[in-house]
Structure 1
Amino acid sequence: MSAKQPKADLAKPIEKQFEKLTEPFNRFVNNQISGALLLILATLSALIVVNSPWHDYYFALENIEFGVVFNDYEIRKSLHHWVNDGLMVLFFFLLGLEIKREFLAGELQSFTQSSTVIMAALGGMIFPALIFAAFNYDTESAAGWGIPMATDAAFALGALVLLGSRIPSGLKVFLVALAIVDDIGAIIVIAVFYTDQLNLQMLMIAAGLFALLLVMNRLGIRKPLPYLLISILLWYVTLLSGVHATVAGVLAAFAIPARPRRHPRNLAKKLRTAAKQMDQIEENPETEMLAEASNHKIVEDVEERAKETKTPLRSWETTLERPVSLFVIPIFAFLNAGIVISLDTINAIIPATISWGIIAGLVLGKPIGIVLMSWIVLKLKWGELPENVTLKHIIGVGLLAGMGFTMSIFIASLSFPGHPEMLTQAKLSIMLATALAGLLGVIWLWVLSSREK
């Protein structure tokens, strides 16, 4: 008769009960549309509070000043500025990691794979900018031409996920790659066209710090702390240089190592050895994991080897993905979406060229540019679409790409400093365009999938 096998799950009943209680929360955190839902909630909360008797508390919170003092150096900013110039660096750092991964191992690593999506994204940036420029030519609001160029990946992907299996899986891949190229364009636009007067000395120091990060990468340094410390310095110097501080996040991300320290087969060998050792431990019923340090050492060695097999780039991306989508972006939305909506505001928006430029740019310019450039690439046989994806599907993606929100609001805040009325018009127009583009995109893809069935 065989010996009784020990239980694999050693958790006590109270632990299992706690796991059941926290399971809904864990499911929400790991759900792909959770970020988009929190973004909507944060936006609606800001709009409700600002248009309620509690609006003074909102503006008081937004304008709270705090900072850091070190000898003669002092950084003091309002909460609004700390979020836009500081916290949003994490968002741009994550974007940088995603961009680097896509070029090294994703959809953008080869010409055939990337040409269609790159040209589509360029069309989706150029056409909206031209439409906005046409509405606002030779006016004070012309500086906002970069606003309708952006795509909010969280909103667009959230809308696409709602359609589930009704759409080809390749369409999601195409939209992710499109949003990443869009982000590259937005970052370049911010760095080049929305930059204050440059401080060349600080710019040179920033270049030196970026070079130092690249050298650390080449030397095989993979510990997070050195990169974190140098990146904070890079952010501070970039802030002083006149270039928008969030660009430092992207530069730091490009320097993060993408190579593992050890080959996966090394981990496989270690796992086989550890499995044999654990089998020997299991054969002795009197052996306890807690009692023997050598038993813990087996597990710790496997953990260490597994850590060395992972790439820092992918590890950091995974670590930051949830905090950025669930905290950073909603906080940004809450502190930037507070708009007083009144009859005067609505009456000012209807004839405003800013409003027409943004709405037409996002809702019309995005799909026209994306579909037209995709069609040209396919006709010239320069590239191809993912499996089971057609140009009709790309029309839906083009509409969803018109959900500009986060990056559009960010660029709007850079476009109209010191012009609160123009900024209010821009923000409200971005919200309307995002909602309209999302609704039209989902309806189009829903109807298309129904007909295909």
Structure 2
Amino acid sequence: MQDLKSPVKVVSKIMQMTAFQYFFTRISQAGFLLFGSAVFAFIWSNVDSAGYDHFWHQELTVSLAGFVLTHSLVHWINDGLMTIFFLTVGLEIKRELLVGGLSDPRRAALPVAAAVGGMVFPAVIYLFFTWGTGNEAGWGIPMATDIAFSLAVLSLLGDKVPFGVRLFLTAFAIADDLGAILVIALFYTPAIDLAALAVAAGIVCGLWGLNRFGIRHSLPYILLCILLWFAVAKAGLHPTVAGVITALFIPSTGKYDTDLFLEMVSKRLENIQCRDGSCGESILVNQSHLNAVQEIDLACRKVVTPLQRLEHGLSSWVGYLVLPLFALANGGVALTGLEPVAALTDPITLGIAVGLVVGKPLGIFIFTFGIAKILKTGLIQGTSWTQILGAGLLGGIGFTMSLFVSNLSFTEFVNLEYAKIGIMIGSFISAGAGYTLLRWSR
């Protein structure tokens, strides 16, 4: 019994969960809530279509230093709260580029190639269906992968898929997010206000200055991010870009380096000694132990990087509030006002659905296979090619980012509804097909 309470045993159990496993668990849990929110939005919009539209299109005004913005509630969610989502995505991308699956060029080659193929093929398929219809602007909709949804489906398989599949799917989904951000910034931007753009550039210089002079507190970066959001919105760029730009400047080093941290912790651990082999049930019974633990806690906070701290701090808010609200506000599809056959056979619906179900897995598989042969590199952690195809099918779950891009692509209500139908059909078929293939693959 005493052995089970040994600090070594406890610490060993805690350390079994790696940073990646923590990230995977948190994101996959959020994916189930996102799914529930989407289902609720669909039911709400069909039970009370007028009430649904009225609620999300109520206007809300925000002013800052004489700069006034008035938008609907759904617009504030899409442009405001989703900036927090893009900030988190930017932090994830930066972490992956520094120390994760994208840090080593050779290791990153396969997921990056998968992301490129998974963007090119769906876009081409969409344009094949919509060319000459006047709705070509939606080509970016089937390009994205919803990382929360896809990891949630993958988590249902438990130990039936190897760790390499989870790592591959996560890495290419993050690379996919980077590609989607570039597409939004480059191709879904209206006319530019150069004066506001100059102000935005000045704020970016301020973010660089904070990073350059070693400012590690998150608050100054967040305040400049808010100012950048207003400047970018005024400039004509999509304001969520402010989140990604801010993430690039969040420091990736802690106040203490690892050597100093180990030295400090080792000295404090020497003060935690128990004569009879038992230190008691509570740390409060021994003041010297309590002081040592508090100093170790302080050292832990000093060695943790602002990037880690902010990413972990925001991940719960994004997963359990921002994305569910986004799904509630954008996931409603009022079928009562649509003609079923026309909705299912419209080029927009077909282009998106086929792009997600067929284009995504084909592009991911072909590009990954090609790069693996060219570089003569093996798959991650013994993953099979069948499992790569299964991961590619899960890559066809494009819910969040696809809905986001659809709002940028279309202004007509009917076209936007067709896009939502295509996204939902494509995403659910991809989820089912990917789960089934991975469930029985070897």
Both structures adopt the same fold (TM-score exceeding 0.5): yes
- In the other structure, the counterpart of 2:240 is 246
Q: Specify the code of the residue in structure 2 equivalent to 1:428.
A: I
CA shift, 1:30, in A, is: 6.2
The residue number in structure 2 matching 1:86 is: 80
Secondary structure of the corresponding residue to residue 177 of structure 1: helix
User: Deviation digits for residues 9-33 of structure 1, max 9, x if unmatched?
Assistant: xxxxxxxxxxxxxxxxxx9x96653
Residues in 2 aligned to 1:70 and 1:411: alpha-carbon distance in whole angstroms: 27
Kindly tell me: are residues 254 and 83 of structure 1, through their superposed partners in 2, closer, same or farther at Cα, counting changes over 3 Å?
A: same
| Match for residue 421 of structure 2 among 428, 433, 447 | 428
Distance 1:267 1:33 in 2: 32
1:59-70 matched pairs, under 5 angstroms: 59-70=53-64
Aligned-partner SS, 1:51: helix
- Taking structure 1 as the reference length, the TM-score comes to 0.87
Q: Relative to 1, partners in 2 of residues 1:235 and 1:444: Cα closer, same or farther, differing over 3 Å?
A: same
Q: CA RMSD in A?
A: 2.6
Q: Give 3-state SS (helix, strand or coil) of 1:221's partner.
A: coil
Between the aligned residues of both structures, percent identity stands at 37
Alignment partner of 1:184 is 2:158:
no
Task: State the distance in 2 between where 1:291 and 1:173 align.
Answer: 43
Give the Cα–Cα distance (whole angstroms) in 2 for the partners of residues 215 and 444 of structure 1.
50
2:40 pairs, out of 40, 45, 59, with 45
Partners of 1:32 and 1:161 within 8 A in 2? no
- In structure 2, do the counterparts of structure 1 residues 55 and 351 end up closer, same or farther at CA, with 3 Å as the change threshold? closer
What amino acid is the match of 1:193?
Answer: F
Structure 1, unmatched stretches of 5+, are 1-6, 9-26
Query: How far 1:281 sits from its partner (Å)?
Result: 12
Q: Which stretch shifts more, 200-209 or 68-77?
A: 68-77
Q: 1:300 to 1:59 in 2, by over 3 A?
A: same
Q: Are 2:408 and 1:414 aligned?
A: yes
Deviations 1:278-307 (A, max 9, x none): 54999999xx95997x88654443322211
* C-alpha contact 1:112 1:382 (8 A) present in aligned 2: no
Q: 1:53-95: per-residue Cα shift (whole Å, max 9, x none)?
A: x333322220122222345321222110110000000110000
Q: Label 1:281 to 1:228 Cα distance change in 2 as closer, same or farther (>3 A).
A: farther
The aligned residue for residue 253 of structure 2 is 259
> What is the alpha-carbon distance in structure 2 between the residues aligned to residue 335 and residue 370 of structure 1?
30
- Quick one: distance in 1 between partners of 2:211 and 2:437? 46
Consecutive unaligned residues of structure 2, counting only runs of 5 or more, are: 7-21
Are 2:90 and 2:244, in contact at CA under 8 Å, matched by a contact in 1? yes
The SS at the match of 1:138 is coil
Distance (whole Å) between structure 2 residues aligned to residue 47 and residue 246 of structure 1: 25
Letter in 2 for 1:36: G
Q: Which residue of 2 aligns with 1:24?
A: none
With over 3 angstroms needed to count, the CA separation of the structure-2 counterparts of 1:89 and 1:279, relative to structure 1, is same
Q: CA deviation at 1:141?
A: 1.0
Provide closer, same or farther for how the CA distance between residues 263 and 331 of structure 1 changes in structure 2, counting only shifts above 3 A: same
**TM-score between both structures, scaled by the size of structure 2:** 0.89
Aligned partner (choices 150, 165, 170) of residue 164 of structure 2: 170
Q: Secondary structure at the match of 1:259?
A: coil
AA aligned to 2:99 is A
Secondary structure (helix, strand or coil) at the match of 2:375 reads coil
Query: Pick from 139, 142, 146: which aligns with 2:136?
Result: 142
Letter in 1 for 2:387: H
Match among 326, 341, 346 for residue 347 of structure 1: 341
Displacement of 1:210: 1.4
Q: How has the CA–CA distance of structure 1 residues 67 and 145 changed in structure 2, closer, same or farther, with 3 Å as cutoff? A: same
- Which residue in the other structure is 2:361 paired with? 367
**TM-aligned CA deviation for residue 189 of structure 1:** 0.6
In 1: Cα distance, 2:342 partner to 2:279 partner: 80
Match of 1:35 in 2: 30
Q: Deviations over 1:402-440 (max 9, x none)?
A: 0001000100000002x0000000001100100001101
Q: Does 1:118 align with 2:112?
A: yes
Q: Structure 1 residues 32, 201: closer, same or farther in 2, change over 3 A?
A: closer
Cα separation, 2, equivalents of 1:379 and 1:209: 45
Out of 106, 126, 150, the residue aligned to residue 132 of structure 1 is 126
**Inter-partner Cα distance in structure 2 for 1:284 and 1:444:** 52
Label 1:204 to 1:382 Cα distance change in 2 as closer, same or farther (>3 A): farther
Deviation beyond 6 Å, 4+ runs, structure 1: 280-285
CA radius of gyration, larger in: 1
Structure 1 residue 263 displacement after superposition: 1.8
Q: How far does the alpha carbon of each residue in 1:309-343 deviate from its partner, in whole angstroms, 9 at most, with x for none?
A: 11111111111112211111010000001110137
Greater alpha carbon shift after TM alignment, 60-69 vs 119-128: 60-69
CA contact (8 A) 1:213 1:252 kept: yes
